[in-house]
Amino acid sequence: MKNEQELIKRCIKGDGRALATLYDRYAPLLLGAGLRYVTSRSDAEDILQEAFIKILQNMSRFEYRGEGSLVAWMKRIVVNLALNYLRNREKNLLINEQILPQEAEKQAKEEENPSGVTPEEIHRLIVELPVGYRTVLNLYVFEKYSHREIAELLGCSESNSKSQLLRARALLKKNMMMLISNKEYLPVYGS
């Protein structure tokens, strides 16, 4: 089953092979999206299962908008479930400190991306960020949400979202530099 539209139609009809194909084709990608938000594989797998239940329940309401729209729709479901999980699990998701948006943009432009670090090491460094920093970083960098959209999703201000992203990048950079300089890596939270 190559065509997404055909796969969607068959899933809506309850075709078991189509449902298995949908799961086999997209589960690894969606699990990866979940793992960017929660550190436990078990929790990410729970989110994935809940996402597939929602996907199948709402498949008939999905509006196909071209190649890739199905993946985007399913990823959004996973991201929303992961955010709900974090909200329920973590009482203090975001630090309520504010900085001027101009400062956040200026400092973000000044940061560099150190080289010589493997993707696995970068993933580990991201996972070890405080949950608020990690959440905003994932939404902005990987999911391509705007600061306005992040603020709406998380119930904070746009400047708070920018601040969280700035701090996440600064902490990630600091930890990468420690890794690159061959010092023993220890997670460093805060300044």
User: Would you list the domain boundaries of the chain?
Assistant: 4-89, 101-180
Q: Over range 80-91, report the average pLDDT.
A: 80
- Give percent of the chain with pLDDT exceeding 70: 79
Question: Comparing 49-63, 89-103, 156-170, which segment has the lowest mean pLDDT?
Answer: 89-103
- Cβ atoms of 78 and 55 within 8 Å: the answer is no
Fold entry, domain 4-89:
Rna Polymerase Sigma Factor; Chain: A (1.10.1740)
Q: Hey, what CATH class is 101-180 in?
A: mainly alpha
What whole-number distance in Å separates Cα of residue 112 and Cα of residue 108?
Answer: 9
